[in-house]
Amino acid sequence: MIERMTRKKLANIEFSEINPELPKDKDEIGLYIHIPFCKMPCPFCAYIRYPWNPKLERSYVEAVKKEIDLYRKVLGDVKINSIYVGGGTPTIMSEGVADILKHVRNAFDVSSDIGVESNPDDLNEKTLALLLDAGVSKLSMGVQSFNDEVLKGIGRRSHDTKQALDAIELVMSNDGFDTFSVDLMFSLPTQSLADLKKDLDIVIEKDLPQITTYPLLLFPYCKMYRDVEEHKIKLPDKKVEKKMYELIVNSFVDAGYEPCSVWSFAKSGVDKYGSVERDEYIGIGAGAMSNVGEYFYTNTASTEEYIQTLGKGSLPITIGAKSSLDGTAARWLSMSLYEMGFDKREFKKRFGMDVDEKFKSFLRWLKLLGVIKVEGDHVKVTRKGMHAIHLMTKTFLLTFVAKACVACIENPKPLRLD
C-alpha cells in the first residue's frame, strides 16, 4: 500500500528545462561533489559514471573548481554545513579530490565534516594519508558482499573478498577518521538468506562503527535492469526481500547497533555517516543533483559537455523540477522518516505550518499501522514500521530520482543561465 501511495504522489512530477532560482540569502547549505569515474563500472549502478580516464582527470578537476567559483559568486558568504563526495569512485583520483576540497575551503566558510566514498581496491596508506590531510573525517567503503560468487553475479569486478577484508583492517587500524561505514547490498541475484547472514556476521564480528545495507535499485538505463527484463537474471521476490530486510534489522539491533536510518546502523555515540540525509545541497560535477528550496535540478550527465560549459563560464544545469511548498514539505517529511523520525517543531519552523494539520490522514494512517509512534513533539519510526519506510524510500528513488536521471541523460545540453 505504501508503495502505491508514494507512486501516486510522485506520478505528476515531470522534469524539463528549468532556470532555477539559485539561493542568495542562505546562511548555510550543503555541497555534494560527484566524481563520475570507475575502473570498471558495475552493471547495476544507477549513478552517472564512466570508465576511468586518467587523461580526463585534470580537466575535470579544473571544471569542478570553476563550478565552485561560480556558486561562490551566487551564494556569497554562505556557510557550508555538509560536504559529501560520491561517485563513481572518488578514491580513484584521491589527489584530485584533495585538490577540490582545498579549493572548497578557499572559496567558502566550511564548518562541516567531510565524507568520501571509497572502494576496497583503492585504499592504501598513501590514499588514506591524502584523504586525512584534505580534511576528510568520514569514510565509507563499498563492499556490497563478502561472497565472491555474489560479487561475480552483480558484475562487481573491482575487488574480491580478501581485498575488502584487508581494506577494512587497514582503515580500522587508522584512528584518523571519526566515522567509518561499510556498505553492503541485499536482494541481489544469486544471493540467499544464508549468504546475507554470513555478510552480516562478518561486519558485526569486525565491530565496525557503522554499516549501511542498500537494496538493489535498478534504473531503466542500467544493463542489469535490461537483463532482468529479458529474464537473463532473476532477483529474489518481494517475500524473500522482506525476510532479508528483517534479518538485517534483527541482526544489527540484537548486536547493539542503533538504526540511524532505515538502511544504516551505527554503534551508540558514533557520529553517523550518510549520503542523502541533507535538507538542501548544491550538486557539483557531471550528473550531480541539487536540492534547493522548491527546486530539484541536475547537471549535464556528459563529462565533455560539463567541461566545455564550465570553460565558457556557465553553470552546467540541464533539467529540473519545481515543487510547491506542499511538495517540498512532503519531500522533507519522507526523508525525515527515512532517518527514523522528526520533531514537529522543526517542521513548523521550516514550513510555517502544523504537520498534524498538513499531513493529518497520512500520519494517522502510519500511526494506526504501527509504523510510527508519537511522543509529545517527537515522531519516531518503530522497529515494526521500518520495513514500510524501506518500501517508501525505495519507491521514491525508483520513481522520482530515476525519472530525474533518465531526463538528465536524455538532455545532455546544459541551459544557458545568464
Q: Which of 168, 180, 110, 171 is nearest to 138 (CA)?
A: 180
Mean pLDDT of 138-150: 96
Give the pLDDT of residue 12.
63
**pLDDT at residue 417 tops 60:** no
303-320 tens-digit pLDDT = 999 999 999 999 999 988
Name the pLDDT band for 418 (thresholds 50, 70, 90). very low
Angstrom CA distances, 175 to 122, 129, 137, 138, 171, stand at: 19, 11, 10, 11, 8
177-208 tens-digit pLDDT = 999 999 999 999 999 999 999 999 999 999 99
Name the pLDDT band for 11 (thresholds 50, 70, 90). low
For the chain, domain boundaries: 14-266, 325-388
Mean pLDDT of 398-404: 82
Name the pLDDT band for 400 (thresholds 50, 70, 90). confident
Give the pLDDT of residue 25.
76
DSSP 216: P
Q: Which CATH class is domain 14-266?
A: alpha beta
Mean pLDDT of 68-85: 93
Residues 6+ apart with CB under 8 A from 399: 6, 7, 10, 11
Q: Which comes out higher in pLDDT, residue 415 or 375?
A: 375
Residues 6+ apart with CB under 8 A from 139: 115, 116, 118, 131, 171, 177, 179, 180, 181, 273
CB of 59 closer than 8 Å to CB of 304: no
Rounded CA separation 358/363 (Å) = 10
For the domain with range 325-388, which CATH number is right: 1.10.600.10, 1.10.3720.10, 1.10.10.920, 3.40.720.10?
A: 1.10.10.920
Mean pLDDT of 11-27: 75
Name the pLDDT band for 7 (thresholds 50, 70, 90). low
Give the pLDDT of residue 47.
85
Mean pLDDT of 20-26: 79
Say what percent of the chain tops pLDDT 90. 70
Cell of 307: 567541461
Name the pLDDT band for 107 (thresholds 50, 70, 90). very high
252-298 tens-digit pLDDT = 999 999 999 999 999 998 888 776 556 789 999 999 999 888 898 99
Q: Which residues pair with 215 in a beta bridge?
A: 186
Rounded CA separation 235/216 (Å) = 9
Give the pLDDT of residue 416.
47
**pLDDT at residue 40 tops 90:** no
Mean pLDDT of 94-108: 96
What single string gives the DSSP state of each residue in 307-329? HHHHHTT---EEEEEE--HHHHH
**Domain pair 14-266 / 325-388, same fold:** no
Name the pLDDT band for 415 (thresholds 50, 70, 90). low
Q: Which comes out higher in pLDDT, residue 155 or 326?
A: 155
Cell of 103: 579549493
Give the pLDDT of residue 327.
80
What single string gives the DSSP state of each residue in 240-278? HHHHHHHHHHHHHHHTT-EESSSSEEE-TT-----SS--
What single string gives the DSSP state of each residue in 132-164? HHTT--EEEEEEE-S-HHHHHHTT--S--HHHH
**pLDDT at residue 344 tops 50:** yes
Residues 6+ apart with CB under 8 A from 302: 286, 412
C-alpha gyration radius of the chain: 21
**Which has the minimum average pLDDT: 47-51, 127-131, 226-230, 257-261?**
47-51
pTM for this prediction: 0.92
Average pLDDT, the chain: 91
Give the pLDDT of residue 232.
94
Give the pLDDT of residue 375.
95
Residues 6+ apart with CB under 8 A from 410: none
